Amino acid sequence: MKKEKKPIIETTNLSKIYQSGNLNVRAVDNATISILPGEFVALVGPSGSGKTTMLAMLAALLTPSEGQVIIDGYDLSQMKEAKRVQFRRKNIGFTFQSNNLVPYLTVQENVEMMLRINNQLNTDGRKKVVNLLTRLGLDDRMRYLPSQISGGQRQRVSIARSLIHDPSVVLADEPTASLDTERAYQVTKIYADLIHENGKAGIMVTHDLRMCKYVDKIIQIEDGIISNIIEGRGTIDEFISCA
Amino acid sequence: MAFYLAFKEVWRNKGRFFLFSLVIALITTLVLFIAALSEGLALANKEFLEKLDAELLIFQENVDYVASSSRIAKSKINDIQRIDGIDKVGPIGFSNGTIVFFDGRDDLNVSLIGIEANQPGSPPVISGVSFQIDRGTEVIIDKNIVNQTGIKVNDKIVLKTLQGTDEVYNEFDVIGITDGRQYLYQPSIFIPYRTWEQIRPQVNISSSLIETTSNVLAIKLEENQDQGLIQENIVEQVDGIDIADVKTAYESLPGYQAQQSTLNTQRYFTLLIGILVIGGFFQIQMLQKIPQIGVLKAIGVANPSVAFAVVYQIIIVTTFGVFLGAFISFGLSAAFPPGIPIVFTGNSVVIAIVTLLLIGPIGGLVSVRLAISVEPLIALGLSS
């Protein structure tokens, strides 16, 4: 009998309510999702739909107003700030839109930083960094500063940084926003491959539906409400082609 | 982690941080030079009194401890000498004169200090011999005169003084050289008291014959005496005098307090400017780094690490700048001619350097506060 996988990310009736004058604005409204290990999910929707707010709550950067976020068995909605910092450091890997590398650290040092802050930077850790950067085609750029490499290379460094400390969840906020189409596909594919290979739960916020060709699930969000969840290769491809 | 981030940023932006260190170095140079000038001017004013081998000085009553206004009859020496606990009493007379050169060198104004041999006020000799008698045409010169004129032991010098309205020239033999003993911004020449009485500038040529007086009396106490108690005894037993310890005496020198407070005010303002410059630089830098700090916090770098990274960076840059400034200051001072009153003393230099090292972190406190307040949500383009 096949053992059923336990979700790494689970949200239940998750809401974020902002006060705007006398109005309560529900940036995310009753969102319930679950993401399994090795599953790569795209969070899509128009600007202002609440996808980044949703990502921030999943990343332990924002406390939910209502509902629950459980990642790896930890309830983030109950967690204190100091614990959340520790949790992010250990359990979450981040890729942001752009300019997210430390400009005065080399490519290698940027990736090593995640091991450094997790006290895992030893000989094995350094080897792991070199191997991952080599895998991402950056072996000849390891001593370069972020300003000395291209935008696509910077995003690949960022992907390496988000995975090197073996987090259970990897999150990406518009990782291809500043890239041309070819590089955007390249980066998304690498991201998807690494998530699948390493059994991570991955969420990518994107406004570019073409990038969804590598994901396993699309969660569509509109006005803070999850309006559609699209699963299965065929359905996803059909959704992309219709968009 | 904090030091690693701070050091890497400084190292990889050496040009920018070096330029800023240069600004700190210039502030340091300014502070050290003001401190050295303050010390030098104070020393040029008080050096003789500060180095005096006496604990107390007697002035005429109601002259606010101003030696040039004070006249003490020599007969008071015996009254004071009788008081228990007093070892020696020496009369000291102050006047001005000029060393005149006949070989084209510039004349040099000096303080003429009349002292009695082996009494308080008599200077230690670092070359040559001391006075043996209280009259004669022998003088001991301050080493500042040697530095400025090249006069040496056994040379003859001519001193010009005013007697009435006449310029009078007297020749003296240099028998010894003492260490720096400037008084009222002039190097000193020590003259046997009786001789000093004769050559000191006077309104009338005959006025020195009326009564033997000195400007002040220097008192050396016997060992292990209670200075306060003896001071009280002197005041009780001798009329018409005021008594001061050496520090009070030199702090009462004309212009001393005004000069020191002016220079100290300049020094404090320079330090304040330093705080503002350092604070401004790091604040601007921090404003430019807000998105970067947001990312660091988002990926799990803790607030204390971010804050300490800023503090370490300030310490690295300030320390480098301060020591560079100190090095520049000492280098420049070595090139100055001997007459310029710039004196670096260990105490004032250490105080200035420690203060400058402290103003860095103080100036940077605002940027530390800003670094702490940056929210990780910035990384996602959100704010709470």
Digit-coded pLDDT (tens) for B357-370:
888 888 888 888 88
Of A97, A105, A114, the CB nearest to B299: A114
Residue B57: pLDDT over 90: yes
Are residues B12 and B99 part of one domain?
A: no
Buried b (16+ CB within 10 A) or exposed e, B358-377: ebbbebbeebbebbeebbbb
Are residues B103 and B17 part of one domain?
A: no
Amino acid letter at A145? L
Digit-coded pLDDT (tens) for A118-170:
988 999 999 999 999 998 888 899 999 999 998 888 888 988 898 899 899 99
From B196, B212, B239, the end of a domain falls on B239
Report which of A186, A181, A241, A182 is spatially closest to residue A214, judged by C-alpha positions: A186
| Residue A5 CB-density burial (10 A; 0-12 exposed, 13-18 middle, 19+ buried) | exposed
In chain A, the domains with their CATH numbers are: 9-98+168-242 (3.40.50.300)
Domain assignment of residue B384, yes or no? no
Are residues B176 and B219 part of one domain?
A: yes
Using DSSP bridges, classify how beta strands A201-206 and A40-44 pair: parallel, antiparallel or unpaired. Answer: parallel
Pick among B293, B299, B384 to test the A interface (most A CBs inside 10 A):
B299
Amino acid letter at A138? L
Shortest distance, CA B274 to any CA of chain A (angstroms): 27
Domain assignment of residue B112, yes or no? yes
Are residues B209 and B80 part of one domain?
A: yes
Residue of B nearest to A114 (CA): B299
**C-beta atoms of A56 and B5 within 8 A:** no
Are residues B299 and B266 part of one domain?
A: yes
Contacts of A166 in chain B (CB under 8 A): none
Q: Which pair of structure tokens corresponds to residue A195? A: 């998530």
Contacts of A113 in chain B (CB under 8 A): 299
ipTM: 0.86
Domain assignment of residue B111, yes or no? yes
Q: d(Cα B121, Cα B50) in Å, to the nearest integer?
A: 11
Of B8, B300, B302, the CB nearest to A105: B8
Shortest distance, CA A231 to any CA of chain B (angstroms): 27
**C-beta atoms of B13 and A85 within 8 A:** no
Domain assignment of residue B306, yes or no? yes
Of B295, B297, B301, the CB nearest to A100: B295
Digit-coded pLDDT (tens) for A160-185:
898 899 899 999 888 887 778 887 88
Are residues B342 and B205 part of one domain?
A: no
Domain assignment of residue B365, yes or no? yes
Residue of B nearest to A51 (CA): B380
Residue B384: pLDDT over 60: no
Percent helix / strand / coil, chain B, rounded to 5? 50, 20, 25
For residue B204, the model assigns a pLDDT of 60
Under the banding of pLDDT at 50, 70 and 90, the label for residue B163 is confident
Pick among B305, B378, B380 to test the A interface (most A CBs inside 10 A):
B380
For residue B99, the model assigns a pLDDT of 95
Domain assignment of residue B303, yes or no? yes
Digit-coded pLDDT (tens) for B257-288:
898 899 889 888 888 888 888 888 888 888 88
Shortest distance, CA B379 to any CA of chain A (angstroms): 7
Residue of A nearest to B293 (CA): A102
Are residues B75 and B12 part of one domain?
A: no
**C-beta atoms of B380 and A55 within 8 A:** yes
Q: Which run of H or of E encompasses B97?
A: strand B86-100
**C-beta atoms of B380 and A99 within 8 A:** no
Domain of B30 in residue numbering reads as: 2-43+257-379
Share of residues in chain B with pLDDT > 70 (%): 96
Share of residues in chain B with pLDDT > 90 (%): 35
For B284, phi and psi rounded to 5 degrees?
Answer: -65, -45
Residues 44-103 of A with CB under 8 A from B: 52-53, 55-56, 59, 61-62, 82, 85-86, 88-90, 92, 94, 96-97, 99-100, 102-103
Are residues B230 and B120 part of one domain?
A: yes
Are residues B266 and B201 part of one domain?
A: no
Q: d(Cα A39, Cα A204) in Å, to the nearest integer?
A: 11
Are residues B223 and B263 part of one domain?
A: no
Domain assignment of residue B342, yes or no? yes
Using DSSP bridges, classify how beta strands B216-221 and B86-100 pair: parallel, antiparallel or unpaired. Answer: antiparallel
Are residues B121 and B12 part of one domain?
A: no
Residue of A nearest to B376 (CA): A61
Report which of B142, B67, B103 is spatially closest to residue B339, judged by C-alpha positions: B142
Q: How many CB pairs under 8 A join A and B?
A: 76
Do B65 and B243 touch, CB atoms closer than 8 A? Answer: no
Q: d(Cα B228, Cα B84) in Å, to the nearest integer?
A: 13
Q: Is A148 touching B (CB cutoff 8 A)? A: no
Digit-coded pLDDT (tens) for B90-124:
999 999 999 999 888 889 999 999 999 889 999 99
Residue of B nearest to A167 (CA): B299
**Sequence-separated (6 or more) residues with CB below 8 Å from residue B379:** A61, A94, A96, A100, B291, B294, B295, B297, B298
The domain total for chain B is 2
> Pseudo-torsion of CA B64, B65, B71, B77, nearest 10°?
130
Are residues B175 and B82 part of one domain?
A: yes
Taking the model in full, what pTM does it have?
0.76
Domain assignment of residue B246, yes or no? no
